[in-house]
Structure 1
Amino acid sequence: MSQVLIKSPKHCAKQGLNIDQHHKKLFFFFSSLFTSILSLILVIWLILRPSKPDFSLREADIYQLNLSGSHLLNSSLQLTLLSKNPNQKVGIHYDELQVYADYKGQRITTYTSLPPFYQGHQDSNLLTASLIGTWLPVAPSFGYEVGRDQTAGKLVLSLKVNGRLRWKVGTWVSGKYRFNVNCVAVMAFGPAIPTGPLTSKQGSHCATTV
């Protein structure tokens, strides 16, 4: 003879209450765990306080800077940068690096991409790039401005790097942060036509923002 078990509404309500309490305990457990992990990361971040990387210009050479007509430019440059990670306990991943040259607010080369790389604690890396511009449109006053600089005896260029970086602490890697580097190259540029490339080797420090 079979038996039919009938649960009272009171019993069902008690069982539902137990399930809700179990879910709440799991929710509070995972919430506390997540908060603890975030707090630990924040404490480590505040203790380490990563410093932004240092960049300096080692050498810049202009092999070509010719106008075709009044506003189309052909250019060829070579540059060498020194990148240094000043942090003792934080590594840096560099991603999406692009380099270009600028003259008085006008871009005079196309963007040149550099391969991504990792920089360990207090490591240094030499970065070289060939910058080229072909039929780049420039302002009609470009030739006049270059002529003025030649009369003054020096040519001033801005060499710029744009990219993204990620901080690395142990096995933890941060999200991506955009950074910008601006290096100023001052080159002797006398009235006589130079036989070789215009060169800057003063080793100037670059401005870096993150």
Structure 2
Amino acid sequence: MGEHHLPPEPTDHHKGGKAVHADDLKPARRRRYGYYGSTGSGALSTICSVLLLLILLAGVIALVLYLVYRPNSPAFTVTNIAVYSLSNVTGPSAGLPAAGARAPNSVAASFQCALVIRNPNGRSSARYDRLTAYVVYRGEAITAPAEMPPLVQDPDSAVVVAPVIGGGGAAPVPVSPEAAAALANDVSYGVVSLRVVLLGRVRFVSGPFRSGWRSMYARCDMLVGVRKAPGNVGAAAVPEAPLFGNPSCNVDI
């Protein structure tokens, strides 16, 4: 039989050398170090910090300006009221469509109300526009809206307006039967609860700052003393009707 020869052993087997791994045969990756990377990150961080500081500073300035120039709502006070006419009206004058039909309930009323408007803002003037006033009884209007001229008011000042509401040839205002009956009863008693409503818009001006136009809704509740007219047709004309208690006014803007 022929002789079998074993393959020769690696020469480094007896030298204690380590085996070569496949990954060691791959070309080494070069690590690149950016010399300007840290400088760019620092500049970006500085810019962000400056922008944040400016935003915070602008917010603080805006808050201070708002607290200093923040306008307060104007205040209204009723000083007196004159009752020129106040009576129920039925029949053709109230708009009866045909003879024999049931007459609608209407009220013919005319007043002149003195209102004191006070601007409590010491740094802002007030501008009023599109002002209208009317009188309400038991939640129902008993006069047509009366237009008022625009008004300019200085800071921390008061002005008196005295619009004539109703009358002047205006048609009677339709009301519910319940309101007509209650009005006749109150007139006979001598005291009528009325509400004067003032609608419009207002804006405030303080130096270079101007607010936008805001809707205004003011209402003043009062108890008015009236005298019964001769012939039992309503309240007699009273140049200055007495006011009972302190009329209260509320303003929504």
**TM-score category by the smaller chain?**
0.7 to 0.9
Q: TM-score, normalised by structure 1?
A: 0.74
C-alpha contact (below 8 Å) 2:85/2:236 kept by paired residues: no
Root-mean-square deviation (CA), in Å? 2.6
Q: Deviations over 1:150-195 (max 9, x none)?
A: 3543111100101111111112211011111111231223567565
Change (3 A) 1:166 1:39: farther
What percentage of aligned pairs have identical amino acids? 23
Partner residue, 1:72: 106
**Aligned AA for 1:150?**
V
Find runs of 4+ consecutive structure 1 residues off by over 2 angstroms.
Answer: 38-43, 46-49, 150-153, 189-196, 200-205
Q: Deviations over 1:109-164 (max 9, x none)?
A: 11111111211111111111111141321112233101321354311110010111
After TM superposition, list the pairs within 5 Å mapping 1:9-88 onto structure 2: 36=58, 40-69=61-90, 70-88=104-122
CA distance in 2, matches of 1:191, 1:73: 15
**Aligned AA for 1:50?**
P
Task: Count the aligned residue pairs.
Answer: 178
Q: Give unpaired runs (5+ residues) of structure 2.
A: 1-53, 91-103
Q: Secondary structure at the match of 2:172?
A: strand
CA distance in 2, matches of 1:209, 1:103: 20
Q: Give unpaired runs (5+ residues) of structure 1.
A: 1-31
Highest RCO, 1 vs 2 (Cα 8 Å, sep ≥ 6): 1
After TM superposition, list the pairs within 5 Å mapping 1:135-150 onto structure 2: 135-150=172-187
**Aligned AA for 2:212?**
G
Change (3 A) 1:128 1:190: closer
Quick check: which one's strand share is greater? 1
Out of 213, 222, 226, which is 1:185 matched to?
222
